[in-house]
Structure 1
Amino acid sequence: MPQLAPVNWLFLFILFWFIVGLGTTLIWWSFKTNYSIPSSDTSEKAPRTNLWSW
């Protein structure tokens, strides 16, 4: 293995973790998550009020 300058090791370290983070982000974005609240008949009959007075 050739001798590398400290700046090159720092570059390789940053490049490695950038690729790991990018791969993790792409895998995370590939999974579709549905955030939904199951609706019931009682919640539809309740009147909706605005909780914020502005």
Structure 2
Amino acid sequence: MPQLSPLNWIFLFLLFWVAILVMSVLIWWSKKIYFSTSTSKVSSVKENKWNW
């Protein structure tokens, strides 16, 4: 293991958990959008003019 200062270990620890949190939020967001559009395609296209 490299010789890092304790502050750098804290930054690495925080970066690791922030990356996991961001990835899980992105996965949750993509599943939410997918399921909401697949259940009601016609009404969601009329309501959502941005098409995303």
With the length of structure 1 as denominator, give the TM-score of the two structures: 0.57
Q: Percent identity?
A: 53
- Structure with the higher fraction of residues in helix conformation: 2
Q: What is the Cα deviation at residue 33 of structure 1? A: 3.8
How many correspondences in the alignment? 35
Give the equivalent residue in structure 2 for 1:10. Answer: 10
Give the equivalent residue in structure 2 for 1:20. Answer: 20
Q: Which runs of 5+ in 1 are unaligned?
A: 35-54
Q: Which runs of 5+ in 2 are unaligned?
A: 37-52
Structure with bigger gyration radius: 1
With the length of structure 2 as denominator, give the TM-score of the two structures: 0.59
Higher relative contact order (CA 8 A, sep 6+): 2
In 1, distance between residues paired with 2:17 and 2:2?
22
